[in-house]
Amino acid sequence: MTEDTERVPTRLEVPLADTWDLTTLFETDATWEASFGVWSDELVQFAQYRGRLGESAAVLKNYLEFETEYERKGDRLGTFAFLKETEDLANPIYQGMKARYLGIAALANEASSFSRPELLELPPEKLADFLADPKLADYKLMLERVVRYRPHTLTEKEERLLALQLESSQTPREVFGQLTNADMKFGTLTFDGRTLELSHATYASCLEKPNRELRKAAFHQYYAEYADHANTLATTFAGSVKQDIYNARVRNYPSALEAALFPDQVPISVYDNLITAVRANLPAVHKYYAVRQRAMKLPELHFCDTYVPILTEFRKVTSWPDAVELVLESLKPLGTNYTETLAAGLRGRWCDRYENKGKRSGAFSSGCYDSDPFILMNYKSDVLDDVFTLTHEAGHSMHTHFSKEQPYQYANYTIFVAEVASTFNEQLLTRTLMERASTDRERAYYLNKEIDSMRATIVRQTMFAEFEKIVHERSEANEPLTLQTLRDEYRKLLEVYLGPGMTLDEEQSLECLRIPHFYGAFYVYKYATGLAAAIALSQKVLKGGPDDLAAYLNFLCGGSSRDPLDLLRAAGVDLATPEPVDAALKHFGDLVDELDGLLK
C-alpha cells in the first residue's frame, strides 16, 4: 500500500500519544474561556497610564510590568487558540477562539499604542535618569531599543499622516498576491498518462522529477504565464521598491537598505560582505553545475535540470521512532542536557506527528513562555526530507526552550538568529547520515542534498539580495524601473551566479518578477547569513573543545538579550567579517570535490 492510497484519519481517530499535549497550556476549553474573560477585562487598565509615563521611574516600572504581564498572558491564550486551530482547520470552535483572541489583541495594541510616542517624547535628561535608575534595570535594554528610533520618529501630526496611508501602502504586495495566486492560471500538463494541474507547488515538484521532458514543459509553461503578465508584475514591483524608498526617506534613513537593516542593528558591511564572499566563491558553484551536467549525461544544462537529485533512485524509509533516534544520535555533540531534554519532549508529547483530515500542512515550531515548545509535522516515513524537518523544528524548539532562561521581555529571539539554531541541527544530521552511509552512492546522495541546500540557501538567496540592492539603488538614483531594466539586471546576475556552463533560457530573467520575498525587501539575506553562521558554529562545536560547545549553548539561551550580531559574535562567529561566509563556501567547495570523486 502506498501513502497515496492510505486513508487519512480524522483528528478523533489519531492516537493521543501521537499528538501534542496542549492541556499543559489549558486543561480544557472552559479554563481557556475563563482566562480569556479575565484578560479581556484587564484591557481597560492600559488607560490609567496614558500621559503618565514620564511622571517617575516607579510609574514607568509599574506600566512596563503591567504591559509585559498582559502580553505574556495573551501569548498563552493565543498559542492555545492558534495551535488548536491547526489541528483541524475546519473546526469552527477554534476558528472562533482564534478570531476572538485576535480581536482583543488588536484592541490591546491600540490601547498600548501611546507608550512608544510618550517614551520618545521624554526630554533626554529625564530619559537618561530613567535608564540609570536601578528600579528600571530589568527594562533598560527594552527602553534603549525604543529610544534608538528617536531620529527616525516624526512629529505626532506627521506620524498620523503616515499611519493613515499604511493600508494603501500595502497595495503592491496585495496586487502581487492576488495576481499570482488567484488570477494567473498555469494550465495543465499531461505526462505518463496523468493530467496534472500546474501551480506554484506542482511547478516546484515537477522540477524535482527525473523525467526531463516533464521538467522542461513545466518550466516553459509556468513562465509563459509570467510573460503574459510581465508588464503588470514589473510595474507592481517597481511600486513596491518606490514605497520602500519613500518609507526610508520620510523616516530619515540614508537608504532603503539601511532602513531595513536598522531593527537588527546590522551594518551595511554585513550585507556587502555576504555578496563579496559569495561572488569570490562562485567557481565552486560553477564546478558543481559541471559535475551535475556530466553525471546526468546532459548535452546542455538548463535551470530546469538543477533541482532533481542527481541520484534519483535512492530511497530510504525511516519510521517516526527511528527518526527520533537518528536525530538524537546526530545531536550528541551538543551534550546530554540538550539531547535528554529533546528526547523527553519528542518521545513525550511536544510533537503533533502525523497527518489527519483538516490538519495544517507543512511543519513549524511554536510555543510561548509558559508552554512547551511544540512542533507540528505531517511526518511521512518514506520522505527523507521529513527527518531533516524534524531536526530543523527541534532546533527551533530547543532554542525556544533554552531562551526561557531570559526574563519574558528578552526571551523572544529574532529571525536573524532563529535559523541558525535550526540549520545547525541539519548540519549534524547530514554528518551522521554520511558517516553511516553503507555505499558510495548513498553517501553521494547525501552530499548532493547538502550541496543543493547550500546552493539554494546561501548562493541563490545572495543573488536575490544583490538584485534587491541594485534595483533599490537604481530607483534611489531616480532611474525608472521598467520591465526591460529589471530583466536586464536580473539576467546579468544569472550569468554571473549560474556561470558559463549553464544554458540560460530566455524566460529565466522573468524569475525576478515572481519572488514573493521581494515585497518585503532586504529580508532574504538573513537565510544566507543564518546558514553560513550555522555551518561555522557546527564546525566549531565538532572540531573544537568544551569552550566552543559552551559558547554555542550559551547562544541558544540568549533570546533577544543582546543584538543578533553580538549574540553570534559571543558564540564565535563574526558576521561583520567575510570570514564565516567564505568558510561556509570553502566547505561547499570541499563537498563538491568529494561528490565529483564519488560520481566518477
Active-site choice (87, 355, 393, 419): 393
Indicate the SS3 state at residue 51: coil
Please, what is the minimum distance in Å from the beta carbon of residue 511 to Zn ion? 23
User: Is 393 known to be catalytic?
Assistant: yes
Asked if 529 touches Zn ion (CB under 5 A), the answer is no
Q: Kindly give the residue spans of alpha helices, DSSP state H, lying in 499-524.
A: none
Q: How many CB atoms lie within 10 A of CB 171?
A: 13
Interface characters, 288-327, with Zn ion (x: CB under 5 A): ----------------------------------------
Residue type, 64: L
Closer by beta carbon to Zn ion, 180 or else 422:
422
| Cα gap 180→319, rounded to integer Å | 37
Please, what is the minimum distance in Å from the beta carbon of residue 426 to Zn ion? 10
Give the angle subtended at the CA of 196 by the CAs of 190 and 201, to the nearest 5°.
135
Unique residue bearing C-alpha cell 511521512? 380
33 membership: H or E segment, kind and range: helix 29-42
Please, what is the minimum distance in Å from the beta carbon of residue 346 to Zn ion? 17
Please, what is the minimum distance in Å from the beta carbon of residue 531 to Zn ion? 11
Please, what is the minimum distance in Å from the beta carbon of residue 40 to Zn ion? 33
Contact 304, 215 (CB under 8 A): yes
Asked if 422 touches Zn ion (CB under 5 A), the answer is yes
Closer by beta carbon to Zn ion, 422 or else 461:
422
DSSP single-letter state for residue 460: I
Closer by beta carbon to Zn ion, 172 or else 345:
345
Interface region with Zn ion, contact rule CB under 5 A, candidates 98-106, 179-187, 397-405, 417-425: 417-425
Closer by beta carbon to Zn ion, 388 or else 490:
388
Q: Write out the DSSP string of 91-109.
A: -HHHHHHHHHHHHHHHHHH
Please, what is the minimum distance in Å from the beta carbon of residue 563 to Zn ion? 20
Exposed, middle or buried by CB within 10 Å (0-12, 13-18, 19+), for 44? exposed
Unique residue bearing C-alpha cell 538543477? 306
Closer by beta carbon to Zn ion, 180 or else 389:
389
Closest CA to 311 of 126, 113, 447: 447
Closer by beta carbon to Zn ion, 108 or else 411:
411
Interface region with Zn ion, contact rule CB under 5 A, candidates 349-357, 405-413, 421-429, 493-501: 421-429
The grid cell for 475 is 530607483
Asked if 243 touches Zn ion (CB under 5 A), the answer is no
Interface region with Zn ion, contact rule CB under 5 A, candidates 147-155, 251-259, 271-279, 418-426: 418-426
| Cα gap 512→468, rounded to integer Å | 10
Q: How many CB atoms lie within 10 A of CB 135?
A: 13
Q: Which residues bind Zn ion (CB under 5 A)?
A: 422
- Active-site residues, by number, are 393
